[in-house]
Amino acid sequence: MVAELIIAPEAQQDVDEAYYWYENRRLGLGEEFLDCVDACIQVICRMPELHTKVHEEYRRALVRRFPYAIFY
């Protein structure tokens, strides 16, 4: 089952800010960050029940290589 993806505006703003922060640290690092976020989102969409519930019905997926988590 593939889940529908809806990103809250606040979450998109967080991703955008992190992208620019990483990109200002090293050229291309922001793109690597976005690739890792995208890979994490793809896993969530393909297998939404993969990650453990952390609060009531909310689950958390950790983004590889970066100190970010996606809650859904």
Q: What pLDDT digit, counting tens, does each position of 1-29 carry?
A: 666 789 999 999 999 999 999 999 999 99
Task: Phi first, then psi: give them for residue 45, nearest 5 degrees.
Answer: -65, -35
Note whether residue 10 is domain-resident. Answer: no
- Residue 61: give the domain boundaries: 15-71
Write the single-letter amino acid at 62: L
Q: What is the pLDDT of residue 61?
A: 98
Note whether residue 24 is domain-resident. Answer: yes
Task: Phi first, then psi: give them for residue 21, nearest 5 degrees.
Answer: -65, -50
How far is residue 12's CA from residue 65's CA, in Å, rounded to a whole number?
A: 19
Q: What does the pLDDT average to over 20-42?
A: 98
Residue 38 pairs with which residues in a beta bridge?
A: none
- Which DSSP symbol is given to 31? H
Note whether residue 21 is domain-resident. Answer: yes
Note whether residue 56 is domain-resident. Answer: yes
Q: What is the pLDDT of residue 27?
A: 98
Q: What is the pLDDT of residue 3?
A: 67
